[in-house]
Amino acid sequence: MAAISTCRFHRFLKKSMVCKNLTSSLVAKNQAKHASTFTYVAETPQTDGEVKRMNLFQALTDAMDIVLETDESAVIFGEDVAFGGVFRCTVGLRDKYGKDRVFNTPLSEQGIVGFGIGVATAGSTAIAEIQFADYIFPAFDQLLNEAAKFRYRTGNLFDCGKLTVRAPCGAVGHGALYHSQSVEAFFSHIPGLKVVIPRGPIQAKGLMLSAIRDPNPVIFFEPKVLYRQAVEDVPVGDYELPLSKAEVLMEGSDVTMVGWGTQLHILREVANMAKDQLGVSCELIDLRTILPWDIETIEQSVNKTGRLMIAHEAPKTSGFGAEIASTIQERCFLSLEAPIQRVCGWDTPFPHIFEPFYIPDKWRCFEAIKKMTNF
What residues are annotated to the active site? 109, 179
Provide the 10 A C-beta neighbour count for residue 360.
26
Cβ proximity to other proteins, 225 vs 241, nearer residue: 225
Cβ proximity to other proteins, 78 vs 235, nearer residue: 78
Cβ proximity to other proteins, 159 vs 269, nearer residue: 159
Name the phi and psi angles at 65, rounded to 5: -60, -45
Residue 227 beta carbon to other proteins: minimum distance, rounded to whole angstroms: 8
Residue 66 beta carbon to other proteins: minimum distance, rounded to whole angstroms: 19
Residue 350 beta carbon to other proteins: minimum distance, rounded to whole angstroms: 13
Provide the 10 A C-beta neighbour count for residue 44.
9
Cβ proximity to other proteins, 116 vs 259, nearer residue: 116
Cβ proximity to other proteins, 53 vs 153, nearer residue: 153
| Dihedral angle computed from the Cα positions of residues 67, 72, 75 and 81, in that order, rounded to the nearest 10 degrees | 60
Footprint on this chain of other proteins (rule: CB under 8 A):
8-9, 12, 16, 18, 23-24, 73, 75, 86-87, 100, 103, 105-108, 110-111, 113-124, 126, 131-132, 135, 138, 141-142, 145-146, 149, 151-159, 161, 172, 174-175, 178-179, 191-192, 194, 215-216, 227-228, 244, 292, 295-296
Cβ proximity to other proteins, 116 vs 170, nearer residue: 116
Residue 97 beta carbon to other proteins: minimum distance, rounded to whole angstroms: 12
Cα separation, 370 vs 177, in Å, equals 31
Residue 306 beta carbon to other proteins: minimum distance, rounded to whole angstroms: 23
Residue 178 beta carbon to other proteins: minimum distance, rounded to whole angstroms: 7
